[in-house]
Structure 1
Amino acid sequence: MTIRSKKRLSLMLAAAFALMPLPALMDAQATSARGGAEVQTVPTSTFTGVERAGVAINGVMKAAIDPIIVNHAYYVPFPDMAHILGYKDVAYSYRSKTHVATDGSVTVKVSVGNTSAQKGDERVNIDPPIHLKGKTYISLGSASAVFNTYTWFKAENGSIQVQLPARQYKVQKGDTLWEIAQAHHTTIGAMRVANNMKSDAVTPGQMLRVPPEYQTREMEPARQSSPAKENNAAATPVQSSSTAAKAQAIIATGKKYMGVPYKFGAKSSEAPRRMDCSSFTQYVFKQHGVTLPRDSRQQSSVGTRVAKSQLVAGDLVFFKYPERYSDGRVGHVGIYMGNGQMLHTVPKSGVTITNMSKSGYWTRNYLFARRVLR
């Protein structure tokens, strides 16, 4: 091969390599679909770095974050945003390019390139997350949908603002009014009234008011791993002597941790030093051979349903948490002790005993109960 030919070949190879995307940017482009969700790619040329931004929750600055701009929209790192919002337990699968995060009440999952995310056992429409510089980024609109917040960029001071709980919702691509109502555990009628709507038509980017708290209430889930027949059957109000004894043993174990500090979104590994409501119930029941899922939403689908009038010691009782969630979801769990009392953990006092039948707050936010002891 002549020197001229070698030089020409070198130039051709150099040009070919120049056209190949860098490995870091290849991660930003999803190539396969999972869970039935459409996968989209975003051209790497549309990424723009911007100045570090503070994140304020209800007007109070909490932390700082490094956003980027994609097609004129602000994107934020998913793990950083999750931590700021109290989702302390965050994991990432490099194989599936999926983030899983829990705040103790609900577990959310987002996957690179997917146009939907999982919030509990529900699906919400989002802009496809992207992976760049070793992190997964989601748009502010997607963060709103996944975390039940209203999140936006405030140009006046260059900050990310979070309204928690959300009182408004920005329609995402693919949304229908029915899906939005379902995600907020309310009705189409309530959505239409709250927004003076004459039809069910919605368009991406449209702002909708979330119906008032009393019109959002999650009904008892009908999904669990045990047979459907058992799931739909009402629990017997009478406990066997052995089951009653186990319930009392569980309660006695729980009482040992009276006053142990509460930590929102605590990791399971932190128990029993610090616990949130669901890691507390999970830990205490585990000491007696009963395995419960991690978050309160998952725990609310275990066992059999029981009427409030037939509660017995050892039953799990579930509540809304309107100060944090505007979608009426399960946000708190406690262990029923009998005589209207429950053993649980709350921010101010840690593990404590509360008479829920004499408290307007707990009575107003009570959802339902489940029996997991047999």
Structure 2
Amino acid sequence: MTTWESLYARRASRMRASEIRELLKLLDQPDVINFAGGIPDQALFPAEAFKAAYQEILAGPDAGRALQYGMSEGSARLRNWIVNHMRRLGVECGPENILVTSGSQQGLDYIGKLFLTEGDTALVQWPTYLGALQAFNAYEPGYDRLDPGANRPAEDYAAIAREKGGRIKFAYLSPDFANPTGLTVDLAERQRLLALAGELSCAVIEDSPYEALRYDGEPLPPMLALDCEASGGINNARTLYCGSFSKSLSPGLRLGWICASADVISRLVLIKQASDLNSPVLNQEAMARVAENVFEAHTAKTNAVYKSRRDAMLAALERHMPAGVSWTRPEGGMFIWMTLPKGMDAATLLETSIETARVAFVPGRAFHPDGTGANTLRLSFSCNDYQKIEEGISRLGRLITETVTSKL
């Protein structure tokens, strides 16, 4: 019998199953109220628009091309839409600055592959997106804490990186409605972090899949837009912007993009060629048509729904959570981050919650590179109506109250 463990690369030991993906299996249990998955509500997908787009493509003269291999950079029509979208966000760019990826998750994997050597350091928010940690882990980096507002000197970061045997390659963050906290980095802090990256001579990875899901407040310029303004254009900028259609139009088509300096894009294209050659052309062509026709109207519609669900969850938390529990109040996105009283373990709470309250959430430890955050958890409000949100938070509040009381 083959002993597979002896054959695996060393980096395989750093690969871990996603707690979130495992929790998504609970969606098959209809009596569980699921606040775990950070996914859009499938009832809101523009299915008719996609149906019309696929019919137009497959019944038209471009059917063969759409079913053929395509350019690794992405289809021209979709890249042109992305260029115009980035320009609306304040980023002047061209098609040569865009790489279409099979979801933004693939983009994070490519970025890790391009930048990270064993022993290098990635600066990340604390907590940070679990999928980013999974993507980067295979390339064996160390992590350091990128806390907005911390004002740590650049040399402090650099010295710690040297102790780990490498250098800081990039600062990774989600500035808009971050997964898992739902928090947004303000304008002054975006500028400060760009200045810090300049002192460290490292890249900035701006992961922004929730950018279009704003419910309150004024939109902030992407860090890439600020970087382009300060550096004299996108080809001088150190920021890579990762966008996605998964939260706005459809995750099933697995389409995202990276917008960056043409030099960086050309290197990422080589990785794409060695990986999957190109993202499915048919899906790209369909997405381009749907984005052209319904993006703004559709996001306005879905944002109204998500806003009402966010408001319902915030109100339910106020009614049902005991003293000592706190949570974030996001301006957009899909998540609320909860902090339990010290000494409570969200993973243990989840086991009890599934068994008795039949409510699912994501324990917060997985979002912390150092395994801390045991008393934190993530709630998603995107896929439940008012009644389920009220009932689920009520059950969870009772369970937390009982747990706190039992420890007294």
TM-score for both structures, normalised by structure 2: 0.24
Higher RCO structure (Cα 8 Å, ≥6 apart): 2
Pair member with larger Rg: 1
Larger % of strand: which?
1
Larger % of helix: which?
2
